[in-house]
Amino acid sequence: MTLINENYANLQSSYLFANIARKVAEFQKSHPDADIIRLGIGDVTRPLAPAVIEAMHKAVDEMGHEETFRGYGPEQGYEFLRQAVVDHDYKPLGINIDIDEVFISDGAKSDVGNIQELFSADNIIAITDPVYPVYLDSNVMGGRSGKFKGDRFENIVYLPTNAENNFSPEFPDRRVDIVYLCCPNNPTGTVLSRKRLKEWVDWCKANETVLMFDSAYEAFISSEDTVHSIYEIEGAREVAIEFRSFSKTAGFTGTRCAYTAVPKELTVNTADGQKQALNPMWNRRQCTKFNGVPYIIQRAAEAVYSEDGHRQTREAIAYYKENARIIREGLTAIGLTVFGGVDAPYIWLKVPAGMTSWDFFDLLLEKVNIVSTPGAGFGPCGEGYLRLTSFGSRENTLRAIERIKTLKF
């Protein structure tokens, strides 16, 4: 008799963004003439940089000639891209990373979900609340959550982040084996200070806890009092796995390329008390289950680090950051309390008094035809907040703010 993985039955509702898509589709069906502005899902709208397109065209041409054709590539990524990552993302920060500690993949989301396969189902997980849903849901699928009771999973340790604690979570009040931090944060758009991240690294070392550090939005950082890589912090190589992405940095949401850094010093315990390095385990996992990112895409990602590619992708980031400023200042001007939008493409705002986050989502959709993301979809502490993204066009960003200004709260 074939049995299912019953952990899937513990997942709550459908994936957040699938729920939003369903609600928007239903609204559009009943209001076919509605001019909907989408500031919900964090998907980019600016085209790929010319240097990236040029590199892709060149790589496509190579695939058409016998002498330059490429078949299966290395599962860990081609050396040319891994070396570019080391030379441009780490060396300028004074960080020593070997290329065999860098693993190219098809997305940070994939890696964040897949990395949990390396760990026992008995491990205790800590997540910030609100949280990017993949951290939680992938561990529910892996059997670490226990049952859903009230508004939380019984075996997950939740670390509240809100305006009251300046969106900086306290340390867990009990033993945890793995903790997830995202900086710049999705969904709140805030960052943790360098000092606080040092405290987190020290805490993880003292408690033999693995730190999953999601740095997908690093390119948006403006503040000096934070880090561009967790490995800027002394001791982080012993405790932290870092996830990085080309999706928001270079507009690769539809092109798919990212990487994960797994230092060789990072070890975890076996059942008999031995130490096991995670780097060779992740390498084996990737070699077994992943055939690598296409050569054409990796050449495109390499072009991001060229002089022209860097300049052009930074121009796109500046465009989105200006959108974030417009949203942040526009909402503040009408009396809404707003967070984020400085070091990240996300604006996290308090909903008007007397409304839930889904109430405000519905209001924006139905009254001014704007798609947002309700904070409750990111966890219990997301209730009372709502996320907007700066990834729309400039025209739509300006139009959206003008529409919101017409509402009476």
pLDDT, mean of residues 201-223: 98
Q: Are strands 258-261 and 102-105 parallel, antiparallel or unpaired?
A: antiparallel
pLDDT score of 52 more than 90? yes
CA dihedral of 360, 365, 371, 375, whole degrees rounded to 10 = 20
H helix or E strand, kind and range, residue 368:
helix 357-368
Asked if residue 339 lies in contact with residue 190, where contact means CB atoms within 8 angstroms, the answer is yes
SS3 content of the chain, % helix, strand, coil (to 5): 45, 15, 40
Per the prediction, the chain carries an average pLDDT of 96
What band does 69 get if pLDDT is binned at 50, 70 and 90? very high
What are the extents of the domains in the chain? 14-43+309-405, 52-305
pLDDT, mean of residues 364-370: 97
H helix or E strand, kind and range, residue 214:
strand 210-214
Asked if residue 241 lies in contact with residue 212, where contact means CB atoms within 8 angstroms, the answer is yes
Task: Name the CA radius of gyration of the chain, rounded.
Answer: 21
What pLDDT shows up at residue 215? 98
C-alpha–C-alpha distance, residues 9 and 7, integer Å:
5
CATH class of 14-43+309-405: alpha beta
Token couple for 384: 């009372």
pLDDT, mean of residues 382-393: 97
**Residues with Cβ within 8 Å of residue 307, at least 6 apart in sequence:** none
DSSP annotation of 94: T
C-alpha–C-alpha distance, residues 30 and 34, integer Å:
9
Burial (CB count <10 Å: 0-12, 13-18, 19+), residue 390: buried
What pLDDT shows up at residue 203? 98
pLDDT digits (tens, 9 = 90+) for 70-125: 999 999 999 999 999 999 999 999 999 999 999 999 999 999 999 999 999 999 99
What pLDDT shows up at residue 328? 98
Angle between helices 357-368 and 394-405 (to 10 degrees): 100
C-alpha–C-alpha distance, residues 267 and 279, integer Å:
8
Does the pTM of the predicted model rise above 0.75? Answer: yes
C-alpha–C-alpha distance, residues 322 and 283, integer Å:
39
C-alpha–C-alpha distance, residues 15 and 11, integer Å:
9
Asked if residue 40 lies in contact with residue 372, where contact means CB atoms within 8 angstroms, the answer is yes
Token couple for 116: 């949990």
pLDDT score of 223 more than 80? yes
**52-305: what fold?**
Aspartate Aminotransferase; domain 2 (3.40.640)
**Residues with Cβ within 8 Å of residue 379, at least 6 apart in sequence:** 127, 129, 130, 131, 136, 158
What band does 14 get if pLDDT is binned at 50, 70 and 90? low
DSSP 142-157: TT-S--EETTEETTEE
pLDDT score of 186 more than 70? yes
What pLDDT shows up at residue 1? 94
pLDDT digits (tens, 9 = 90+) for 316-337: 999 999 999 999 999 999 999 9
Percentage of residues of the chain with pLDDT beyond 90: 96
